[in-house]
Structure 1
Amino acid sequence: MDDERVWSFEKSLWTGDEENYRKLIDESCLMVLPHPPFAMSGVQAIEAVAGTPRWTEVELAKGQIARPQEGLIVIAYQAKASRGDETYEAYCTSTYRRLAHDEWRVVQHQQTLPAAISGVVEKG
């Protein structure tokens, strides 16, 4: 998957409908989000996010892509999302695994709120 497609894939997880989300998240996915239950796996991760309202806009910045081996893509980025007057910002990672030609699934996703790392940045 080329870089442009990687970022399009990731954006679709923020703004796409529930069906899109369920299609792209692997049942073995591990996910850490900044709200309870925090760490989730498999179907629990899919259900936790699938039922939430989708974001209407998302900007992915400071993106990095690694391809540590064939069929594995790891990305890191800063997300700024909005829907109406609500906004959200997080630093994120996702890992994709290729199942077949042009068929990828998210097997890991993590979000860290800027407030959680602000003390680290200030001290660093």
Structure 2
Amino acid sequence: MLASKDELIALEKGFWTGDEAFYKANADKECLVAFPEMAQTMSNADLAATAKKPHRWKNLQIEPKGFVEPGSDIVMLTYEARATRSTGEPYAALVSTGYVRRADGWKMMFHSQAPLPTGKARKSGLGEGSSKKAD
């Protein structure tokens, strides 16, 4: 079964805006995460616990950059994300997420973020005043 890029983008939006239940339902048993301040394998429960605080992000914008499906049960997605933290602070990152297909759907098994500058002058076109917004 081939992955749908739209389906995976919808999952990504859920990981940015969803709650603990969303994480539990859509992350694999273990997930390798890599951020500048940490890199580790997290259990489904530990990863879900990171989403306890509601309304963590708003004004989420996602611009896909790459999508590969090396097999029928593995897919990698890379995109640029821009969002506003609940504190009002802007955030931008180049994000890569790996999914594995399980009997009950695609599950996140890898996630990495590399922060980007949040200024308006950028090449991608997803600037502060852009009309490209994710709902």
Superposition TM-score, scaled by structure 1 size: 0.78
Answer whether contact 1:90 1:113 (CA < 8 A) is retained.
yes
Distance 2:74 2:11 in 1: 14
Residues 64-105 of structure 1 deviation map (CA, whole Å, 9 limit, x = unaligned): 1110101111001111011452221111100000011x5111
1:98 matched to 2:101? The reply is yes
In structure 2, the partner of 1:110 is 112
Query: 5+ unaligned residues in a row in structure 1: which ranges?
Result: 116-124
Q: How many residues align?
A: 112
In structure 1, the partner of 2:127 is none
Alpha-carbon offset, residue 49 of structure 1:
2.7
Superposition TM-score, scaled by structure 2 size: 0.72
Alpha-carbon offset, residue 7 of structure 1:
0.7
Alpha-carbon offset, residue 25 of structure 1:
1.4
In structure 2, the partner of 1:119 is none
The code of the aligned residue for 1:30 comes to L
Alpha-carbon offset, residue 24 of structure 1:
1.1
Answer whether contact 1:27 1:46 (CA < 8 A) is retained.
no
Superposition map of 1:1-124 within 5 A: 1-35=3-37, 38-43=38-43, 46=47, 49-53=50-54, 54-84=56-86, 85-100=88-103, 103-114=105-116
Alpha-carbon offset, residue 45 of structure 1:
5.5
Distance 2:11 2:48 in 1: 19
The code of the aligned residue for 2:51 comes to A
User: Once superposed, which parts of structure 1, at least 4 consecutive aligned residues long, lie more than 6 Å away?
Assistant: none
